[in-house]
């Protein structure tokens, strides 16, 4: 009887292992998605701040590719465009991760993550509403997950 109770207890513990591994994978994907969304907001904030400091043009210059009316844009720190890093119009590309562990659109191994940044300017041009959406497919459940972050950035000049 004691052996039977021990076997039942061990089987219960071993049946939890796959569920724990699955939960860890889901939480890791969500963590990466949150960081990618935060990075998208930070990139837009950096473009805005650079424009403010340079004072050579409108404060939201270089962000026209990100307007929600044209579908948003793709941004990363690693992909240079000529002459300056300007966001590329969103085309549904998957992010890649390079040897240094940085996400970008041009080099490295493909990932399951996509990122879309969209901007809606205020009617009086005093702020922009920035929305970053990160999409990824969960192979275990065969569904697409979405994480959305929003922030308003103001013309502080």
**What's the mean per-residue pLDDT of the chain?**
86
pTM reported for the whole predicted model: 0.82
Which helix or strand (DSSP H or E) is residue 17 part of? Answer: helix 2-54
Q: Which residue has the tokens 């990618």?
A: 36
- Bridge-partner residues for 118, per DSSP? 131
With beta carbons less than 8 A apart as the criterion, state whether 75 and 117 touch: yes
The residue ranking higher by pLDDT, 35 or 57, is 35
Per-residue pLDDT, averaged over 16-37, amounts to 89
CB 68 within 8 A of CB 131: yes
Q: In what order do the strands lie in the sheet with 113-121?
A: 88-89, 73-74, 113-121, 127-138, 143-154
pLDDT tens for each residue of 93-144: 999 999 998 999 888 999 999 999 999 999 998 999 999 999 998 877 778 9
What are the sequence ranges of the domains in the chain? 2-154
Mean per-residue pLDDT for 15-32?
87
Q: Which residue is associated with the tokens 């009086």?
A: 124
Looking at residue 83, its pLDDT comes to 40
Q: Is the pLDDT of residue 81 over 60?
A: no
């Amino acid at each position: 009887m004691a052996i039977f109770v021990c076997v039942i207890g061990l089987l219960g513990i071993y049946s939890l292992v796959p569920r724990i591994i699955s939960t860890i994978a889901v939480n890791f994907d969500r963590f990466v998605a949150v960081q990618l969304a935060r990075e998208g907001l930070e990139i837009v904030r950096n473009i805005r701040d650079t424009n403010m400091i340079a004072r050579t043009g409108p404060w939201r210059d270089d962000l026209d590719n990100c307007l929600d009316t044209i579908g948003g844009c793709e941004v990363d720190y690693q992909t240079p465009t000529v002459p300056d890093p300007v966001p590329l119009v969103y085309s549904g590309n998957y992010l890649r991760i390079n040897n240094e562990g940085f996400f970008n659109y041009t080099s490295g191994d493909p990932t399951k993550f996509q990122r879309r940044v969209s901007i809606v300017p205020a009617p009086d041009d005093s702020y922009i509403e920035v929305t970053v959406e990160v999409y990824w497919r969960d192979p275990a459940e065969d569904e697409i997950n979405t994480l959305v972050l929003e922030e308003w950035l103001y013309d502080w000049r």
